[in-house]
Amino acid sequence: MRRVTGKQVVDLGPSEFAELRARHVGAVLDVGTGDGKHALHLARTHPDHLVIGLDAAKDNLRKSAAKSAASPRKGGLPNLLYIWAAAEQLPAELREITELHVLMPWGSLLRGILGDDPAMLSGLANLCAPDARFLITLNLHAWRPPVPEVGDNPEPTPDSATESLGPLLAAAGWHLDEAAYLDADAIAALATSWTRRLNSSRDQLEVLALTGVVNPSR
């Protein structure tokens, strides 16, 4: 698979990935990682986990990727990888993911998460270990006004997400436990650059978080 290390893109083979994965107690995959800040934050705060930021666009990854690939003496993070790939064409080498994050998706990633691309959801579930946790955060500005990717889906609320989106996710192995609005502190704790761009009038509820289990063992 294509590992971004800054301006360079290098090949990371299945055995190299398996070796890295075996050295960590868990692996978090941040799909649509953007500039990779959330993945960087996770890697710093969870040094015993392998963190993988994946995005279909490689150029925004460069800065965080160069930081992570530096030597540990210079602040590099040996538990952080950035992979250039689309969620529709996932690298077969990625395995044993114990946590999936999809924060503020847009484009085909948003369409897929809203259930329009069951193959994308199943493909992501196939990378996961049993009982992996997932976190999806939907930027509700995508419905204000609606962008084309949301199609006919109305803006989700905690109740409507459970009723309408829950079954679509479950069909692909993603079992939704909870849908809840995030407050400003919870949004800030995600440490993504994108959330800083959200409208700062926090009296509005702007982000809906969906959490649950992928491939439940019972």
Ligand X SMILES: C[S@@+](CC[C@H](N)C(=O)[O-])C[C@H]1O[C@@H](n2cnc3c(N)ncnc32)[C@H](O)[C@@H]1O
Min separation Cβ 76 and ligand X, Å? 22
Comparison of 143 and 216: residue with beta carbon closer to ligand X: 143
Which helix (H) or strand (E) element contains residue 54?
strand 49-55
Min separation Cβ 10 and ligand X, Å? 19
Min separation Cβ 187 and ligand X, Å? 10
Min separation Cβ 193 and ligand X, Å? 5
Comparison of 55 and 206: residue with beta carbon closer to ligand X: 55
Min separation Cβ 32 and ligand X, Å? 3
Nearest to 69 by CA among 82, 60, 57, 56: 82
DSSP secondary structure letter of residue 23: T
Comparison of 5 and 60: residue with beta carbon closer to ligand X: 60
The bridge status of strand 26-31 relative to strand 9-11 is: unpaired
CA distance 131 to 142: 30
Residue nearest to ligand X (CB): 34
Comparison of 41 and 95: residue with beta carbon closer to ligand X: 41
Comparison of 19 and 88: residue with beta carbon closer to ligand X: 88
Sheet holding 26-31, edge to edge: 9-11, 2-4, 80-84, 49-55, 26-31, 97-103, 128-139, 207-214, 174-181
Q: Residues in the chain, how many?
A: 218
Residue pair 57/1 in contact (Cβ under 8 Å)? The answer is: no
Comparison of 163 and 205: residue with beta carbon closer to ligand X: 205
Which residues fall within 8 angstroms of residue 140, CB to CB, at 6 or more apart?
155, 156, 205, 206, 207, 208
Min separation Cβ 30 and ligand X, Å? 7
Q: What are the residues binding ligand X (CB under 6 A)?
A: 32-34, 38, 55-57, 60, 86-88, 103-109, 192-194
Nearest to 174 by CA among 122, 105, 107: 122
